[in-house]
């Protein structure tokens, strides 16, 4: 009886393993002598099959092994029984002694024999670094090719797809489509090669796999024919693939053999070592082979633990950090960074009610780092720190010689601006008394506020001027508001117009007033929108979608609620009255728990999941990034592509809330 160790280390009779039960390559005998007879269909009779037993090896030693090998007739088949490395070492010494007597042997064996026969000492798994490969982000992606249907391979593929998440592109070849006709099979291979090639060029790791529903024939022959058709498609895929991957991992014994010999035209390859335990790594340098010199990993179907393939692909991954992405703001041609820097964070730490604001010496390096990381869109307002936020934005451009055309500056007006040296906020903010005409949406205040902002910013124009809030002018005289804004655009002081938190009817009234009169309408809406406050989805967001107005939501992390487990509080959150007021839903804990659940499964931060949800909605969130680490991690959300089920999981607990922050 011969045994195979399962993943738990238990010994299973060879004929009871999943591979033995395969429809095409299965077998019934656990005794390898009878297995040879069975698999040869009787062409090799049992009297020609012999064993080198453990007793021969452990009791008789090298001489006994050599004597038995020399006693066998030409054409004999020899089954070698070995359990540990020392057994194999004794056998190999006996084999070498027999060879000196003129005997010749052909080997059909595994990695343990090869390493012992060649005297290769155990070495750790090879890595890209040990092979001298570059792991820079600019390198092409790798290719994983999977055709094996054994249950372990399917489990390993599931682990790979789940574990690598958005770091892995998956192309599935549906077997039922491949079997329709040769033309369908050829077209599938061509389509897969085109798609995989583009992804590899873009630096993405690609898994090309056959669908997991095992399709078999009525008997072994017809099942083998199906398997041959599938294998031929994988070979054709490799032949059609043009861009050279960084590496190739072939999953499955037949897949790896066909891919190497037929797809890549390898005739002879060097065994460099192992990529993982029991997983050989080849390199073929023949110039007649395709992708000569490429690292080629031969990953048998039944080898390794559930996570071995995932761990291997992860260890061969590039030093990948997603770069900043950009998109058009609404239907305009203006492109903004998909993560916008919120500059309320910068200014006067003593500004009333905002002890988290950072002073100049801390703010300027962060603005520079944001620019260096590709965050080219900065959102401020004239009222933030009584104008000091705008001053610091302008100072960053000057201090670091940042070209004005390289950044997109958004600012806002409505509220009064006190003296820049004052720590106070106007309370109440009423357009009367000492504040008369110093706030609101009159033509006078709009013009004066823009001129003051331009002076503080040290620039001649604002890219996007936003209405911070609205007043009764929206109802009584929307023409005054929109004509004043349009005149600023015509004068070149402002390039685009945006709105901020307001009722949908107010947004519509202002926007349609502009459209009816041929004036400049809104390009953006900066509203309160996140996973725990979604009231904007009832009317504002659909209106913006129809009108081509881009969403740039503020407080995307709900003042930090979505960035940490619900049982964790910060000093700021303990005394933050606005959090309790705006995000008062009973469902918060459940939503936050689901954010944490997805973050754990994706191996990312909770912030990345919350931001990824907004990116999924097409929004460009405004984030207050108060440290170099947070700025450098701002692109983390780009690698999180939420599935339909994950989006449903995040959204399902939400219940209606009272409208806030208007």
pLDDT above 70 (res 217):
no
What digits encode the pLDDT tens for the residues 305-330?
889 999 999 989 876 666 799 999 99
What pLDDT sits at residue 3?
Answer: 84
SS3 476: helix
Q: What is the mean pLDDT of residues 90-103?
A: 92
Torsion of CA 26, 28, 32, 37, to 10 degrees: -90
- Please report which confidence band the pLDDT of residue 286 belongs to, taking 50, 70 and 90 as the band edges: very high
Instruction: Tally helices (H) and strands (E) across the chain.
Output: 24, 21
Residue 408 pairs with which residues in a beta bridge? 377
SS3 543: helix
In whole angstroms, give the CA distance from residue 289 to residue 281: 16
pLDDT above 80 (res 215):
no
Buried b (16+ CB within 10 A) or exposed e, 431-440: beeebeebbb
Residue 409 pairs with which residues in a beta bridge? 378
In whole angstroms, give the CA distance from residue 265 to residue 272: 19
Q: Within 10 Å of residue 451's Cβ, how many Cβ atoms?
A: 12
In whole angstroms, give the CA distance from residue 640 to residue 610: 10
Q: Which two tokens stand for residue 199?
A: 């992804």
Question: Residue 347: which region, alpha, beta or left (left: phi > 0; alpha: psi -120 to 50)?
Answer: left
CB-based contact 320:481 (threshold 8 Å): no
pLDDT above 80 (res 299):
yes
In whole angstroms, give the CA distance from residue 449 to residue 443: 10
What digits encode the pLDDT tens for the residues 51-71?
999 999 999 999 999 999 999
In whole angstroms, give the CA distance from residue 195 to residue 587: 42
What pLDDT sits at residue 321?
Answer: 63
What pLDDT sits at residue 107?
Answer: 86
Arithmetic mean of pLDDT over the chain:
91
Q: What is the mean pLDDT of residues 338-352?
A: 96
What digits encode the pLDDT tens for the residues 252-284?
888 899 999 999 999 999 989 899 988 999 999
What pLDDT sits at residue 542?
Answer: 98
What digits encode the pLDDT tens for the residues 598-634?
988 777 899 999 999 999 999 999 999 999 888 988 8
pLDDT above 90 (res 433):
yes
With helix as H, strand as E and coil as C, how does 46-103 read? HHHEEEECHHHHHHHHHHHHHHHHHHCCCCCEEEECCCCHHHHHHHHHHHHHHHCCCC
Nearest to 281 by CA among 301, 298, 300, 258: 298
CB-based contact 473:440 (threshold 8 Å): yes
In whole angstroms, give the CA distance from residue 83 to residue 555: 62
Q: What is the mean pLDDT of residues 453-473?
A: 98
Q: Which residue has the tokens 């806002």?
A: 412
User: DSSP H helical segments within 548-586, as ranges?
Assistant: 571-574, 577-582
Residue 269 pairs with which residues in a beta bridge? none
In whole angstroms, give the CA distance from residue 18 to residue 345: 60
Q: What is the mean pLDDT of residues 72-84?
A: 91
In whole angstroms, give the CA distance from residue 286 to residue 356: 63
Nearest to 499 by CA among 476, 520, 472, 530: 520
Question: Residue 608: which region, alpha, beta or left (left: phi > 0; alpha: psi -120 to 50)?
Answer: alpha
pLDDT above 80 (res 110):
no
Question: Residue 284: which region, alpha, beta or left (left: phi > 0; alpha: psi -120 to 50)?
Answer: beta
- Those residues with Cβ within 8 angstroms of residue 173's Cβ, 6 or more apart along the chain or in another chain: 188, 189, 192, 208, 209, 210, 211, 230, 233, 234, 237
What pLDDT sits at residue 76?
Answer: 94
Q: What is the mean pLDDT of residues 521-547?
A: 98
What digits encode the pLDDT tens for the residues 360-383?
999 999 999 999 999 999 999 999
What pLDDT sits at residue 440?
Answer: 97
In whole angstroms, give the CA distance from residue 458 to residue 456: 5
384 part of the active site: yes
pLDDT above 70 (res 219):
no
Q: Which residue has the tokens 């990312």?
A: 604
- E strand or H helix at 597, and its extent? helix 588-602
In whole angstroms, give the CA distance from residue 512 to residue 617: 25
In whole angstroms, give the CA distance from residue 347 to residue 363: 8
Cis peptide, bond prior to residue 569, ω within 30 of zero: no
- E strand or H helix at 447, and its extent? helix 443-457
Residue predicted with more confidence, 323 or 142: 142
What pLDDT sits at residue 601?
Answer: 79
Q: Is 308 exposed, middle or buried (0-12, 13-18, 19+ CB in 10 A)?
A: buried
CB-based contact 562:582 (threshold 8 Å): no
Q: Is 568 exposed, middle or buried (0-12, 13-18, 19+ CB in 10 A)?
A: exposed
Q: Which two tokens stand for residue 621?
A: 């969130």
Q: What is the mean pLDDT of residues 90-117?
A: 85
SS3 14: helix
SS3 400: coil
Q: Within 10 Å of residue 513's Cβ, how many Cβ atoms?
A: 19
The helix-helix angle for 388-399 and 360-372 (nearest 10°) equals 60
What digits encode the pLDDT tens for the residues 554-582?
999 998 899 999 887 766 655 676 777 78
> Active site residue: 371, 384, 414, 529, which one?
384
The pairing of strands 622-623 and 550-551 is: unpaired
Torsion of CA 355, 361, 364, 368, to 10 degrees: -120
Domains of the chain: 31-117 (no CATH), 143-315 (3.40.980.20), 328-585+611-640 (3.20.20.100)
Residue 79 pairs with which residues in a beta bridge? 51
Q: What is the mean pLDDT of residues 39-62?
A: 93
pTM equals 0.58
What pLDDT sits at residue 26?
Answer: 78
Residue 186 phi, psi dihedral angles, 5° rounding: -65, -40
What digits encode the pLDDT tens for the residues 220-246?
566 667 777 888 999 999 999 999 999
In whole angstroms, give the CA distance from residue 493 to residue 44: 91
Q: Which residue has the tokens 């690609």?
A: 206
- The length of the chain is 662
In whole angstroms, give the CA distance from residue 298 to residue 337: 42
Nearest to 304 by CA among 252, 382, 265: 252
């Amino acid at each position: 009886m011969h045994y195979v160790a399962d993943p738990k280390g238990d010994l299973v009779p060879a004929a009871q393993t999943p591979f033995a039960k395969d429809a095409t390559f299965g077998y019934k005998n656990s005794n390898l002598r009878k297995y040879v007879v069975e698999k040869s269909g009787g062409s090799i009779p049992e009297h020609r099959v012999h064993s080198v037993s453990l007793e021969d090896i452990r009791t008789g030693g090298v001489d006994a092994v050599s004597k038995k090998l020399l006693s066998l007739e030409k054409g004999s088949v020899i089954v070698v029984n070995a359990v540990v490395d020392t057994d194999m070492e004794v056998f190999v010494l006996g084999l070498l002694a027999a060879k000196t007597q003129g005997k010749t042997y052909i080997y059909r064996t595994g990695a343990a024999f090869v390493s012992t026969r060649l005297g290769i000492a155990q070495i750790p798994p090879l890595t890209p670094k040990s092979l001298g490969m570059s792991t820079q982000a600019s390198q092409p992606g790798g290719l994983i090719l999977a055709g094996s249907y054994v249950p372990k391979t399917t489990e390993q593929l599931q682990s790979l797809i789940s574990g690598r998440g958005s770091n892995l592109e998956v192309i599935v070849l549906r077997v039922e489509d491949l079997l329709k006709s040769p033309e369908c099979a050829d077209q599938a291979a061509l389509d897969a090669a085109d798609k995989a090639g583009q992804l590899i060029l873009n630096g993405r790791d690609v898994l090309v796999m056959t669908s997991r529903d095992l399709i078999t024939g009525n008997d072994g022959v017809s099942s083998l024919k199906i398997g041959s058709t599938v294998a031929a498609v994988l070979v054709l895929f490799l032949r059609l693939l043009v861009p050279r991957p960084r590496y190739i991992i072939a999953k499955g014994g037949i897949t790896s053999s066909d891919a190497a010999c037929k797809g890549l035209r390898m005739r002879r390859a060097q065994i460099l070592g192992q990529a993982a335990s029991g997983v050989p790594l080849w390199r073929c340098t023949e110039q007649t082979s395709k992708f000569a010199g490429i690292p080629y990993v031969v990953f048998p179907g039944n080898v390794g633990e559930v996570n071995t393939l995932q761990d291997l692909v992860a260890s061969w991954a590039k030093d990948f950090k997603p770069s900043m992405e950009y998109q058009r703001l609404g239907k305009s041609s203006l492109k903004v960074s998909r993560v916008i820097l919120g500059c309320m964070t910068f200014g006067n730490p003593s500004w009333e009610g905002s002890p988290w604001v950072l002073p100049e010496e801390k703010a300027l390096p962060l603005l520079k780092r944001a620019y260096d990381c590709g965050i080219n869109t900065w959102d401020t307002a004239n009222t933030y720190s009584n104008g000091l936020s705008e001053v610091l934005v302008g100072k960053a451009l000057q201090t670091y010689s940042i070209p004005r055309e390289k950044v997109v500056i958004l600012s806002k007006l409505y509220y009064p601006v006190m003296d820049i040296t004052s720590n106070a906020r106007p309370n109440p903010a009423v357009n009367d008394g000492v504040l008369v005409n110093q706030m609101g949406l009159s033509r006078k205040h709009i013009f004066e506020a823009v001129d003051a902002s331009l002076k503080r910013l040290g620039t001649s124009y604002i890219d996007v001027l936003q209405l911070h809030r609205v007043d009764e002018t929206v109802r009584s005289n929307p023409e005054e508001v929109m004509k004043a804004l349009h005149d600023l655009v015509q004068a070149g002081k402002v390039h685009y117009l945006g709105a901020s938190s307001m009722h949908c009817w107010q947004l519509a009234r202002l926007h349609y007033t502009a459209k009816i009169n041929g004036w400049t309408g809104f390009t953006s809406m900066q509203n309160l929108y996140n996973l725990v406050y979604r009231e904007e989805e009832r009317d504002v967001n659909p209106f913006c979608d129809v009108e081509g107005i881009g969403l740039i939501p503020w407080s995307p992390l709900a003042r930090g609620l979505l960035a940490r487990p619900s049982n964790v509080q910060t000093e700021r959150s303990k005394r933050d009255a606005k959090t309790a007021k705006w995000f008062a839903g009973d469902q918060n804990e459940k939503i936050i728990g689901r954010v944490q659940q997805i973050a754990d499964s994706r191996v990312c931060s909770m912030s990345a999941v919350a931001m990824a949800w907004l990116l999924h909605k097409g929004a460009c969130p405004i984030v207050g990034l108060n440290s170099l680490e947070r700025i450098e991690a701002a692109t983390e959300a780009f690698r999180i592509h939420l599935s339909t089920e994950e989006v449903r999981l995040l959204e399902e607990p939400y219940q209606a809330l009272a409208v806030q922050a208007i």
